[in-house]
A and B are shown apart, each in its own frame.
Chain A
Amino acid sequence: SQELEQSPQSLIVQEGKNLTINCTSSKTLYGLYWYKQKYGEGLIFLMMLQKGGEEKSHEKITAKLDEKKQQSSLHITASQPSHAGIYLCGADSPLTGNQFYFGTGTSLTVIP
């Protein structure tokens, strides 16, 4: 089965600091997705990456997919309390049929 490992599991940063969350797959990814979940709420789609080496940005969040399409990183610049939540990477692959798998999640706390 497709497995996604996220690191770190949790992160506490001071407001204004930069941070990076990693997502590593045991198999080549077809598509890599990043979602954010606020505590007790639903998932918000952030970005989707499909091509090796692809990089996308939205406001202060940048996501990259490595050339081998097995690792992705999510980078937040100048973090704010509004960035707090759980960040989940998700992926699909032709090898997994139509299942969509999630990573273990990274809990981010931003201290004002």
Chain B
Amino acid sequence: NAGVMQNPRHLVRRRGQEARLRCSPVKGHSHVYWYRQLPEEGLKFMVYLQKENIIDESGMPKERFSAEFPKEGPSILRIQQVVRGDSAAYFCASSRGTASGNTIYFGEGSWLTVV
């Protein structure tokens, strides 16, 4: 998968706790995307970020979810006060430039289970 690293791979949280998912893009990639895959469903776009900027967050739930991609360090997807419905696989992807015409590489995903 060309080097997109996600951690943790598996995360268990109790309802009400916070979940933090990290994504280190391919070296040299400045564009990061987060997707959510609910059980038995396809991948849904959540947010698109460039370094220090949120470009498109139209797929993010309005509450409890936030994402950042700081100048230094990985991109973070943060889910506050998790609920059972947040249980899903969260995939991060990166590209060198915008999606158009640039291959997007995916990480292996972070599986969040809320108990």
By a beta-carbon cutoff of 8 Å, the part of chain A in contact with chain B is 30-31, 33, 35, 40-45, 48, 50, 88, 90, 92-94, 97-105
CA distance A5 to B77 in the complex (A): 28
Q: Are B42 and A104 within 8 A (Cβ)?
A: yes
Asked whether B106 is an interface residue with its Cβ less than 8 Å from the other chain, the reply is: yes
Query: Which A residues touch B44, using CB under 8 A?
Result: 102
CA distance A77 to B2 in the complex (A): 26
By a beta-carbon cutoff of 8 Å, the part of chain B in contact with chain A is 1-2, 6, 31, 33, 35, 42-45, 48, 55-56, 58-59, 91, 93, 98-101, 103-109, 111
CB < 8 Å neighbour of A99 from B42, B45, B101, B111 = B45
CA distance A41 to B106 in the complex (A): 11
Q: Are B106 and A43 within 8 A (Cβ)?
A: yes
B2 to chain A, nearest CB (A): 7
CB < 8 Å neighbour of A92 from B1, B2, B100, B109 = B100
